[in-house]
Amino acid sequence: MSTPVPRLALAGIGKAYPSVVANADIDLAVMPGEVHALLGENGAGKSTLMKIVYGVVQPDAGEIRWEGEPTVIATPADARRLGIGMVFQHFSLFETLTVAENVAIGLDEHASPRALAPRIVAVSHRYGLDVDPARPVYSLSVGERQRVEIVRALLGRPKLLILDEPTSVLTPQAAEALFVVLRQLSEEGVSILYISHKLEEIRALAARATVLRGGRVVATVDPRAESPAALARHMIGRELPPPVARAPHPVGPVRLAAAGLTLEPETPHGTRLEDVSFELRAGEILGIAGVSGNGQSELLAAISGERQAPSPAMLLLDGEPAGALGAGARRKHGLAYVPERRLGHATVPEMSLAENTLLTAHRRGLVQGGLVRRDAARQRAAETMKAFDVRAGGVNAAAESLSGGNLQKFVVGREVALAPKVLVVAQPTWGVDVGATAFIRAELVRLRDAGAAVLVVSEDLDELLEVSDRIAVLYRGRLTPPVDAAAHDAESIGLLMGGAHASA
């Protein structure tokens, strides 16, 4: 059946940037019809390698062979001509254009959106990727957008399809549906390069995995023959940190409550919050699960005070109506907030860590007589950095100079250091490496044990199951009643995330 010539073979690929070696001496071969996983931590060089294969970045060293022939892939158009399709992690779609227009614009052949519509429908039926060509992209959920990306890649009739962390935005059920499509493609002879750091997924899908660490290949294995622990060892170079220990803990009074919170979206792409109610008590962690775009940003804005509720009584802080208060007033009442976007929302990118500390801690004696006490701010920043193991060039380093994981540790540390009564955290470990992830989760649990009320909004179900006492699901702007986290697994909560009705 399959020829012994690999469809794609990389030999000795290297790529160095001024400050970092992204790839060094990488060998990789993908056979026709093979699902090949590329496994590694953030910063291991996976994305750079895929950009080299797709012609976005040129390698400094090494050779690419396509079906046995040495090839130079100078541009993405070259890659598509060879038959390489790519589904990016961040979608390359135009929000205000329709699905058909987006597909038309991304194909090299010149076809009109109207002529493409039936072909889009045909492909989507064949693979069970349900998309409506006439809908504008902004009205689609993240999962639907990904289907558009995949359909677009498939219309180019690829021989090799690259997917970069495709399930990071999907519910478990949507991920399962994606795997069905990928298996079908593989049976039709399409090679698949599947990038991920989720071990279970790779074991379910791939027969071979290449593991990258620090820009080098550390192992090429059959993931089904290896235990998850062994795969993780390859990936991070040491033992996987144990999950956070979380003892049952008595809860105190209600610190934060929403009562029938209803809020119109601010943007046409937004979601309307409908009658959202919950109670968050001292000494517990409430997890809000759901695929983003279901009202998460609206809910966070309403809780943090960036937007006001239509009626003050829709949001209660320590039993007091707080819906009309601004963000500063709510912080004065003991609320702390870690937004999803680290740069530009949680921190000012150009400002130093000391100055960024000042932004939320200025009430804690860092300002005297209207003047900033710079030494005190620096000292406070230094303490945060020490306590949270933030690696940066000192307190005067600009926020934008930190890596994602270090900046996240800094932001969480800054808010935890305020000793808040209520901490609201969005996507606490998004894009953070395994070590920092374990550390941040442990800190959240420690804060809860110290009696704070913690609200965690996350797309990562495993994370919520690990840290939360109770979990509610936000779906299309409505919040389900919270369920006991210990009594549920990813499967049952995943069903709620996709809109199945709560039963029991």
- Interface contacts to other proteins, rule CB under 8 A: 56-57, 75-77, 92-97, 101, 104-106, 108, 110, 112-113, 138, 267-268
Q: State how far the Cα of 243 lies from the Cα of 308, in Å rounded to an integer.
A: 37
Nearer to other proteins, 104 or 353 (CB): 104
What sign for the dihedral angle of Cα 107, 112, 113, 114? Answer: negative
CB 32 within 8 A of CB 7: yes
Instruction: Give CA 131 to chain center in angstroms.
Output: 23
Phi, psi of 239, rounded to the nearest 5 degrees:
-65, 150
Taking alpha carbons only, the member of 464, 350, 440, 342 closest to residue 397 is 350
Q: For 253, which DSSP code? A: S
CA trace torsion 178, 181, 187, 188 (10° rounding): -140
In the complex, the smallest distance separating the C-beta of residue 57 from other proteins, rounded to whole angstroms, is: 6
Nearer of residues 87 and 376 to other proteins, judged by Cβ = 87
User: Is residue 35 exposed (0-12), middle (13-18) or buried (19+ Cβ within 10 Å)?
Assistant: buried
- Nearer to other proteins by Cβ, of 118 and 268: the residue is 268
Shortest reach from residue 92's CB to other proteins, in Å: 5
| Residue 105 vs 450, nearer CB to other proteins | 105
> 97 or 382: whose CB is closer to other proteins?
97
CB of 180 to other proteins, least distance (A): 28
**Distances in whole angstroms, Cα of residue 209 to Cα of each of 193, 224, 226:** 9, 10, 11
Q: What's the min distance (Å) between Cβ of 423 and other proteins?
A: 32
Q: How far is the CB of 307 from other proteins (least distance, A)?
A: 14
User: How far is the CA of 337 from the CAs of 383, 411, 435, in angstroms?
Assistant: 19, 9, 22
For helices 374-387 and 353-361, angle between their N-to-C axes, nearest 10 degrees = 100
CB of 15 to other proteins, least distance (A): 11
Q: C-beta of 100: minimal distance to other proteins in Å? A: 10
**Residue closer to other proteins, measured from CB, 156 or 287:** 156
Please identify, using beta-carbon distances, which residue of 40 and 106 lies nearer to other proteins: 106
